[in-house]
Structure 1
Amino acid sequence: MMKAMRLEEDFGLENIRYRDLPDPEPGPGEVVIAIEAVAINPRDRLMMLGGYGRMGGRPPLIPLCDGAGRIAAVGPGVDGVREGDFVFPHYSRTWPRGLPDPSAHGGAHGGPLDGTMRALMPVPATAVVQAPVHLTAAEAAALPCAGVTAWSAVVEQARIKTGQRVLIQGTGAISLFALQFAKLQGAEVVLISSSDEKLERARALGADHLINYRDVPDWHKPVREMTAGLGVDHVVDVGGAATLENSIGAVRTSGSISLIGVLGGSRPPFDLGRVVTRNIRLQGVTVGGRDMAERMAAAVAFHRMRPALEEKRFAFRDLAGALDALPEGRHFGKVVCEDF
């Protein structure tokens, strides 16, 4: 019997239960991954609270879309992977390439389909990505959702180039991936946070300019000053309503903003006129196809990049505690669970 955490009866973190479930067998075209570590996203908490409505499926549901491990079994008709390979499941088994279409989220792990929070995970071989071998399982588990989202925003959609300037908000997993990918592309990075300690840790990851937004609420002003009044080429915005007006003030004419999160609300009270008159491209970003995950993993492997992980680790059985740690905002990088 395999160990698993499962949402049962109804939505709510109090309904996540530890269970022993039958070991899965791989069907045709499937593999079974022995999950060694999982990672937490804000999406996962919202999903467990029922915030995705019909898109999130219904209990019973095994949570989480992020995880990594080794292939334990291979079903008939599988090519390209074999037992023992170090892999992670892609975010969605119905999203093979490119940007989302209506079917992409229907195959998402951790809602509506069962996710990674189990010892053994059956998944189509076409939804498996080879993990960079220099990473630990915990580091590889950080890649499927947050890593691909940041890669999509910075590399695939904004197409950041050497010498360009990028502003990134915060020190959560997506923000730090965006910082690392922007530096791989040769960009100059401004990073804002409410914590001087976190800012210094971000400096060690390559951030060139640091701003504490609690000390400088109008942080777009020093950004324009350090860019000779022009503004940055691109902004990675995770705050939504609370930060979008400043992001528009910080970006250059004909620049772009990747809107990835709405941690500060989803209804911004500002005039859209500046977006139009300054020809700003506001791009919503949500994960990406398996082909993006493969390109991201190849870049991480080539540069031997290591994802930033929160130092505090949670046991699998403390999944509810790990999910509840996200809104506190104390973490730096990805929150990870290891060990049943």
Structure 2
Amino acid sequence: MTLPKTTRQYSYPELGSYNNLVIHEVPVGPPKANEVLVKTYAVSLQFCDLLIAAGLYPGHSPPRNLVPLSDMAGEVIAVGEDVKQWKKGDRVCANYMLDKLHNEETTAIGATALGGAINGVLTEFRTFPAHSLVEVPPHLSYEEASTLPCAALTAYNALLSGFEPLKAGDTILVQGTGGVAIFVLQFVVASGATAIVISSSDEKLKIATKLGAKHVINYNTTPSWDQEVLKLTNGLGVDHVIEIAGNSTLARSISSVRISGSISILGLLGGLDNVPAVDIVYPCVSKGLNIRGFHVGSVAQFKNMNKLISANPDTTRPVIDKVFPFEETKEAFSYFQSQAHVGKVVIKL
């Protein structure tokens, strides 16, 4: 294969809306000694992509003309002279933070986050440091694999790398049916634990039930869903809450968890503004809670997660709601923003 000289990619001349995205052609060079050149076949969308597009993602100062998106799957088409672990034809994903190899995270490592701190993956071809890549599980398509780097790895990190790693028999409260939530549900089921899922949609809850949720709660018809959770657990509370909405639901999450239980805070879908103040100090002390915030995961965790996925291919197969062509990227953003989806929204290149 002749190496490409150019790549088509989307970027933001200015932030404010995903409608500002423009597609253009830019040069692409061969990989440096420790780099790998990858042909992108699929990318997937995250909630943070909407915040970045709007210029609202906290703590980020994106580069000019940012190329968005962080999650991709593709094929190695060339390797640098010092690269030994990859060869042409290998199927790979890039880790969200290119330099986060293990649990340690520093400001410098955070500055390698794709699609925010540095240019992302909404491009036909891109070079990556060889150490940042992870092999795609052989049974997954490129579209399925593109959902792994953020959504799946965040779910895996939340469940298996916290204060009390997930074990069979645990009860986990899952908020919603978006990308991360569905992976949480699948990993819970694969591990022999019990999942309680909350959502505003009965139709989405039916899908969650088919995927293995033991109990489901519509929080529109049951606004005091924490009390329902307590009933379902005989007043004890769940072992672990996966907190995806943020401040807007944290008080009820604290109410839902058992004494000495855990809450993993990994999202802010409830928004950044107009949320009630939440006193977490007294509940944390009185219930002895473990509250953990974290950011996606490492290359080492990614590899371990792929072992779990490969060992449970049916239970953990990524749920893709809709696939859009590259030329309809703005339509993909619009559909994703509508929150009509269950699981992931993917763009195919």
2:307 counterpart of 1:307: no
Partners of 1:99 and 1:288 within 8 A in 2? no
Q: 2:30 maps to what in 1? A: 25
**For the structure 1 residues 182 and 56, does the alpha-carbon distance in structure 2 shift closer, same or farther, using more than 3 Å as the test?**
farther
Query: Normalising by structure 2, what TM-score?
Result: 0.93
Name which of 188, 207, 218 aligns with 1:212.
Answer: 218
Q: 2:257 maps to what in 1? A: 251
Structure 2 CA distance, aligned partners of 1:94 and 1:78?
Answer: 16
Q: Say which SS state the counterpart of residue 69 (structure 1) adopts.
A: strand
**For the structure 1 residues 282 and 82, does the alpha-carbon distance in structure 2 shift closer, same or farther, using more than 3 Å as the test?**
same
Partners of 2:170 and 2:193 within 8 A in 1? yes
Partners of 2:15 and 2:53 within 8 A in 1? no
Q: 2:3 maps to what in 1? A: none
Structure 1 CA distance, aligned partners of 2:17 and 2:342?
Answer: 25
Structure 2 CA distance, aligned partners of 1:252 and 1:264?
Answer: 23
Q: Say which SS state the counterpart of residue 223 (structure 2) adopts.
A: coil
Q: 1:97 maps to what in 2? A: 102
Q: 1:67 maps to what in 2? A: 72
Per-residue deviation, residues 63-90 of structure 1 (Å, max 9, x unmatched): 1100101101111100111110111011
Q: 2:279 maps to what in 1? A: 271
Structure 2 CA distance, aligned partners of 1:113 and 1:79?
Answer: 26
How many corresponding residue pairs?
A: 338
Name stretches of at least 5 consecutive residues in structure 2 with no aligned partner: 1-5
2:146 counterpart of 1:135: no
**For the structure 1 residues 320 and 248, does the alpha-carbon distance in structure 2 shift closer, same or farther, using more than 3 Å as the test?**
same
Q: Say which SS state the counterpart of residue 37 (structure 1) adopts.
A: strand
Q: How far is 1:181 from its partner?
A: 1.2
Structure 1 CA distance, aligned partners of 2:188 and 2:58?
Answer: 34
Structure 2 CA distance, aligned partners of 1:53 and 1:156?
Answer: 24
Structure 2 CA distance, aligned partners of 1:88 and 1:10?
Answer: 26
Structure 2 CA distance, aligned partners of 1:63 and 1:182?
Answer: 31
Q: 2:328 maps to what in 1? A: 318
Q: Say which SS state the counterpart of residue 326 (structure 1) adopts.
A: helix
Q: 1:290 maps to what in 2? A: 299
Structure 1 CA distance, aligned partners of 2:57 and 2:227?
Answer: 36
Partners of 1:10 and 1:59 within 8 A in 2? no
Structure 1 CA distance, aligned partners of 2:317 and 2:238?
Answer: 26
Per-residue deviation, residues 275-319 of structure 1 (Å, max 9, x unmatched): 221111111121011111111112111211311111x22222222
Structure 2 CA distance, aligned partners of 1:191 and 1:53?
Answer: 28
- Root-mean-square deviation (CA, aligned residues, Å) is 1.6
The AA in structure 1 aligned to 2:97 is S
Partners of 1:5 and 1:317 within 8 A in 2? no
Q: Say which SS state the counterpart of residue 197 (structure 1) adopts.
A: helix
Structure 1 CA distance, aligned partners of 2:126 and 2:186?
Answer: 30
Q: Say which SS state the counterpart of residue 325 (structure 1) adopts.
A: helix
Map 1:72-91 → 2, pairs under 5 A: 72-91=77-96
Q: Say which SS state the counterpart of residue 221 (structure 1) adopts.
A: helix
2:124 counterpart of 1:122: no
Name which of 25, 42, 45 aligns with 1:40.
Answer: 45
Per-residue deviation, residues 235-261 of structure 1 (Å, max 9, x unmatched): 001111221111111100110111111
Q: 2:338 maps to what in 1? A: 328
Query: Normalising by structure 1, what TM-score?
Result: 0.95
Structure 1 CA distance, aligned partners of 2:300 and 2:344?
Answer: 23
Which is further off, 53-62 or 20-29?
53-62
The AA in structure 1 aligned to 2:176 is G
Which is further off, 252-261 or 178-187?
178-187
Q: How far is 1:262 from its partner?
A: 1.4
Structure 1 CA distance, aligned partners of 2:108 and 2:99?
Answer: 7
Partners of 2:188 and 2:195 within 8 A in 1? yes
**For the structure 1 residues 98 and 205, does the alpha-carbon distance in structure 2 shift closer, same or farther, using more than 3 Å as the test?**
same
Partners of 1:100 and 1:288 within 8 A in 2? no
User: Sequence identity, in percent?
Assistant: 35
Structure 1 CA distance, aligned partners of 2:335 and 2:256?
Answer: 30
Q: 2:180 maps to what in 1? A: 174
Partners of 2:47 and 2:269 within 8 A in 1? no
Partners of 1:31 and 1:122 within 8 A in 2? yes
The AA in structure 2 aligned to 1:20 is E
Q: How far is 1:199 from its partner?
A: 0.7
Q: Say which SS state the counterpart of residue 38 (structure 2) adopts.
A: strand
Structure 1 CA distance, aligned partners of 2:305 and 2:99?
Answer: 19
Q: How far is 1:11 from its partner?
A: 4.7
Q: 1:188 maps to what in 2? A: 194
Q: How far is 1:60 from its partner?
A: 1.4
Q: 1:155 maps to what in 2? A: 160
Q: 1:262 maps to what in 2? A: 268
The AA in structure 2 aligned to 1:37 is A
Q: Say which SS state the counterpart of residue 331 (structure 1) adopts.
A: coil
Q: 1:145 maps to what in 2? A: 150
Structure 2 CA distance, aligned partners of 1:326 and 1:242?
Answer: 21
Structure 1 CA distance, aligned partners of 2:278 and 2:293?
Answer: 18
